[in-house]
Structure 1
């Protein structure tokens, strides 16, 4: 009997040993720095399915855990530090940001591709981000598109933190020298910047012409860019909450005349089907006529009590008329205005979306 018992235990040892390995328990063994950096920029195929994320500010994934329901304004990457660098090839000692591009320090260094920076997620936790490619923009020679990967500590692999959509399946990122908090407000923080992904509002507003590092007729565009991010996400209260759907069609125009109101119909836009929605400042709407996604205006105003006054008609000109206005800001001070189709219809976005 003892002989059979010993034989049984001997046969079970490999099974028991396997049960104690990280693969059997579901845990992934952590890698050393050298092993981790060796894996970066390998263009690994995505094997996890991302859940729909609605409208986005940074354009990044909310969480590495695809089974976790994360808040709207959570992100796996919200900022990165220019120095010290976690890893760099060649003579790159640090980075600096000039307009819409990153520049190596010292300037004699040839390339920043392969550099690993110390980033931060929306919870303030550290996350490493690697620059895997740099492509000069065809639209603006002073702007560069970056292909980036961030270290996914859950899966122990490098992964593009940018959310892919059907129209942009392999999104890139821009380097923007401001940080955005969970309320959607931007601020300058020395030594830090944002990798703004291609499908997020920060980058979309840059592509529409509102470059926060630029000026128009001597007037800085930073506030206009900030107002644009509020408008793109229909963030009426200026608290970071969006009130729109992906690929909702809008028409926007600004007080500087950079973008003007569309009066002629096209395949992308039909002015006859649209109506005035809201006027916008850097901290949200200055006045509203209706909501973009069709929810009751009273429901939205409950998010920011005492901020707006209802039944206060304001004529802004060109047929734009508000029925609800800010208590503390003149509607005429708005930097942007927009028209949209409303909730009952949809279409291809001029640019507004997640």
Structure 2
């Protein structure tokens, strides 16, 4: 299997043609955004809903690897220094708060898309009740639906959330490089601040394009899918840990934007890349870690170049020193998770390692 067929490298350009599925409802002109640090006067409910779904999503074709889990903004307050694991939107409910179609009483999640009870019913303009990482409610409007050109099970949604600080609707997804107005996938399950996933009846995740939840699905680990009768949910979860270099399984990332990686799994969905290309040179990469749903099961080195001891201090009870494990094909662990077999890991990866220059952290999660 070639590199292009696998789409292994985080940072590889993925062509995603934006096909308009439905047009948003006519709305009033968007109010001018208040200056940074100032709070706008509260809008009435009728005015708030009349102003939803105003911007049009341009075409885009770039998928950079990075540190974010949900791919969302950390906080609506641009003057506040938000914690790395915070998010303005971590989940949404399937019961509409505001209907686009009078007949749509509830939604259901099917694979990687939302469905109305009856065919032909539009979801565009529907407002759902979402939740931020701090537990506060946030309204989410569905402003567009674009069927994926790569997978009929997936639909790209253009969403807006109500920014209570600026008193306006805003895309909660973080824009990176060539994705100025990122879209989102509807993914089953809810992820908490530690990066752990759990099923919550009636709730799902709007996972933005630049977050690990969506990227792992695009790499082939669709959490709603299966391989040989085995669910891919746990493999997808292990991928979200690997994509962000969340070694301790506590939600903290140890990577940087656009870091190339190569991954391969036990089920054979993705195999190790051995071909040299402009995007990847196996000879310059080395084994980094083996992964399970709760983080690294064994570790050789860090992806961002920090000392291995730093990670061991971050989660002192997780890894055992002096327990070298040979996994085969040259993969060798320096430390391994206590009580876990590295050879039973769902996923392994290679990476380049230390980056020559330090950059500012991504503005979201």
Alignment partners' CA distance in 1, 2:39 and 2:111:
43
Contact kept? 1:85, 1:94, Cα under 8 Å:
no
Q: How does 1:65-144 map to 2 (within 5 A)?
A: 65-105=77-117, 107-108=118-119, 110-144=121-155
1:26/1:268 CA distance change after superposition, 3 Å: closer
The separation in 2 between residues aligned to 1:254 and 1:67, in whole angstroms, is 42
Give per-residue Cα distances to partners, 1:83-113, cap 9 Å, x unaligned. Answer: 14334334211111011110013x1452111
**Structure 1 ranges of 4+ moved more than 4 A:** none
- TM-score, length basis structure 2: 0.84
Say which structure is richer in helix. Answer: 1
User: Residue 96 of structure 2 contacts residue 126 of structure 2 at CA under 8 Å; is this kept in 1?
Assistant: no
**Residue 283 of structure 2 corresponds to residue 260 of structure 1:** no
Which is worse superposed, 90-99 or 317-326?
A: 90-99
8 Å CA contact 1:231–1:284 kept in 2: the answer is yes
Distance 1:316 1:124 in 2: 42
User: Any gaps of 5 or more consecutive residues in structure 2?
Assistant: 1-33, 58-65, 358-363
- Kept in 2, the 8 Å contact 1:86–1:118? The answer is no
3-state DSSP class of the match of 1:228? helix
Equivalence for 2:219: 208
TM-score for the superposition, normalised by structure 1: 0.86
Give the one of 69, 72, 76 matched to 1:57.
69
Q: CA deviation at 1:27?
A: 4.0
Name the counterpart of 2:13.
none
State the match for 2:5 in structure 1: none
Question: Which ranges in structure 1 are unaligned for 5 or more consecutive residues?
Answer: 1-21, 46-53, 347-352
Q: Given the superposition, is the C-alpha separation of residues 288 and 27 from structure 1 closer, same or farther in structure 2, using an over 3 Å criterion?
A: closer
Q: Which residue of 2 aligns with 1:339?
A: 350
- Greater RCO, 1 or 2 (C-alpha within 8 Å, sep 6+): 2
Aligned partner (choices 162, 181, 188) of residue 192 of structure 2? 181
In 1, Cα distance between equivalents of 2:308 and 2:119: 56
Alignment of 1:235-314 (within 5 A): 235-314=246-325
Aligned-residue Cα RMSD (Å) equals 2.0
**Where do residues 218-237 of structure 1 align in structure 2 (5 Å cutoff)?**
218-237=229-248
Q: Pick the structure with greater CA Rg.
A: 1
Change (3 A) 1:293 1:271: same
Does 1:31 pair with 2:51? no
